[in-house]
């Protein structure tokens, strides 16, 4: 029974969803419908490998590549060894990195917009100026602050892990917005276990600016047909809109299921009004936050450039 021979471990909020939809259209590539099964991110899953295999039952001999795009794999130091044990040492990896400033901020909004199903409780309730302080110049000091503040926020329910403890070994990892942009720390876990020749390093900016050229690079790395250019190349997926948390949102969110039931599901107009009045586009980030994060990440960008061979200082601005 086939198992994945390609892992796209991240990074989170770096256009892995776009990559998923593009590669899914390539006839030589198989992705399960579930982009991120997160199987190897939870040690309790490892006794159920047969269940994981069922995700790839529809893969055929024509699929040279069978892929798993779970971004949580990047942030779990135990995953590389698990991949060797269960998938073998010859698998390939595509890592896609985004400007660490933009990735950290985008990850914050990703959790800020998420509501625990069936409730009016949110994963993230902290303000952006609480999460991203501007009075640090040392990355190490900031990471201590981030961890301490997260611990306090979980105790006071300003942040909520909900079912993350059932999905991940470490349910707090998605909330470490700054630490998760320190790519070099996590990439080293993979470099310690796999040869760099098995890895392709890309950037979000490269994919957005030159999508067809980037796809050809991917196809060459995977040894699949380079002539196939899916129709959705150049499309962007995973746009974030932000809920306007408060009484109006709560009320509308509360009554929509009842209106939906009464109308037999024909509530398109109401749903459009719901999106119009209860959501906004992602707000601009204060310049002071961007500048402060730029100071923190300057050295990290240099280190990551050395590890990947990419000229990241040229692609990523820090102000």
Residue 73 lies in a domain: yes
Mean pLDDT score of the chain:
91
The more confident residue out of 239 and 206 is: 206
32 with 152, same domain?
no
Residue 13's pLDDT is 95
173 with 187, same domain?
no
84 with 28, same domain?
yes
Asked if 109 contacts 174 with a C-beta cutoff of 8 angstroms, the reply is no
Q: What is the C-alpha to C-alpha distance for residues 71 and 76, in angstroms, rounded to an integer?
A: 10
Q: Which domain holds residue 233?
A: 6-99+182-237
107 with 245, same domain?
yes
23 with 154, same domain?
no
134 with 39, same domain?
no
Comparing C-alpha atoms, which of 30, 4, 63, 28 is closest to residue 226?
Answer: 28
194 with 284, same domain?
no
Residue 301 lies in a domain: no
Residue 1's pLDDT is 60
DSSP at 283: P
For 6, phi then psi, to 5°, come to -140, 130
Residue 15 lies in a domain: yes
The more confident residue out of 172 and 118 is: 172
The domain boundary, picked from 214, 237, 260, lies at: 237
Q: Is this model's pTM higher than 0.85 or not? A: yes
Residue 314 lies in a domain: no
Q: How far is CA 159 from CA 13, 126, 292, in A?
A: 19, 7, 23
Into how many domains does the chain fold?
A: 2
Comparing C-alpha atoms, which of 136, 137, 121 is closest to residue 250?
Answer: 121
139 with 255, same domain?
yes
Residue 253's pLDDT is 66
Residue with structure tokens 């998923």? 20
203, containing H or E segment: strand 199-203
Average pLDDT (5-33) is: 95
How many CB atoms sit inside 10 A of residue 32's CB?
20
pLDDT value at 17 more than 60: yes
- Strand 279-281, strand 241-243: pairing: antiparallel
Residue 316 lies in a domain: no
Residue 62: CATH number of its domain: 3.40.50.300
Q: What is the C-alpha to C-alpha distance for residues 40 and 86, in angstroms, rounded to an integer?
A: 9
Q: What is the pLDDT of residues 255-312, one digit of tens each?
A: 666 666 666 655 565 666 666 667 777 888 999 999 999 999 999 999 999 999 999 9
Q: What is the C-alpha to C-alpha distance for residues 239 and 227, in angstroms, rounded to an integer?
A: 29
Asked if 43 contacts 119 with a C-beta cutoff of 8 angstroms, the reply is no
Contacts of 57 (CB under 8 A, 6+ apart): 1
Sign of CA pseudo-dihedral 281, 286, 287, 289 = negative
Q: What is the pLDDT of residues 47-68, one digit of tens each?
A: 999 999 999 999 999 999 999 9
Residue 259 lies in a domain: yes
187 with 284, same domain?
no
93, containing H or E segment: strand 92-97
Q: What is the pLDDT of residues 140-188, one digit of tens each?
A: 999 999 999 999 999 999 999 999 999 999 999 999 999 999 999 999 9
Contacts of 173 (CB under 8 A, 6+ apart): 72, 75, 76, 180
């Amino acid at each position: 029974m086939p198992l994945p021979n390609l892992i796209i471990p991240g990074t989170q909020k770096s256009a892995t969803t776009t990559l998923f939809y593009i590669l899914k259209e390539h006839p030589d590539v198989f992705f399960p419908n579930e982009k991120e099964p997160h199987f190897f991110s939870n040690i309790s899953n490892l006794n159920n490998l047969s269940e994981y295999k069922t995700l790839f039952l529809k893969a055929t001999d024509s699929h040279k590549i069978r892929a798993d795009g779970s971004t949580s794999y990047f942030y779990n130091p135990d995953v590389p060894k698990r991949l060797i044990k269960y998938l073998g040492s010859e698998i390939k990896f595509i890592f896609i990195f985004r400007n660490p400033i933009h990735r950290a901020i985008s990850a914050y909004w990703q959790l800020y917009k998420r509501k625990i199903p069936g409730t009016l409780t949110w994963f993230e309730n902290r303000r952006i100026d609480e999460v991203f302080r501007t009075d640090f110049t040392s990355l190490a000091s900031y990471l201590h602050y981030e961890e301490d503040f997260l611990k306090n926020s979980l105790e006071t329910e300003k942040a909520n892990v909900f079912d993350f403890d059932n999905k991940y070994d470490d349910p707090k990892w998605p909330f470490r917005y700054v630490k998760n942009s320190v790519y070099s720390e996590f990439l080293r876990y993979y470099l310690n276990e796999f040869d760099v020749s098995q890895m392709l390093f890309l950037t979000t900016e490269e994919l957005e600016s030159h999508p067809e050229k980037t796809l050809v690079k991917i196809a060459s790395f995977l040894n699949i047909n380079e002539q196939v250019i899916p129709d959705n190349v150049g499309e962007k997926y995973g746009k974030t809109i932000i809920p306007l948390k408060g009484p109006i949102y709560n009320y509308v969110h509360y009554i929509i299921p009842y209106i939906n039931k009464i109308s037999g599901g024909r509530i398109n107009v109401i749903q459009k009004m719901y999106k119009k009045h209860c959501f906004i586009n992602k707000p601009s980030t204060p310049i002071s936050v961007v500048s402060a994060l730029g100071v923190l990440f300057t050295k990290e960008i240099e280190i990551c450039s050395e590890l990947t061979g990419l000229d990241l200082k040229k692609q990523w601005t820090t102000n």
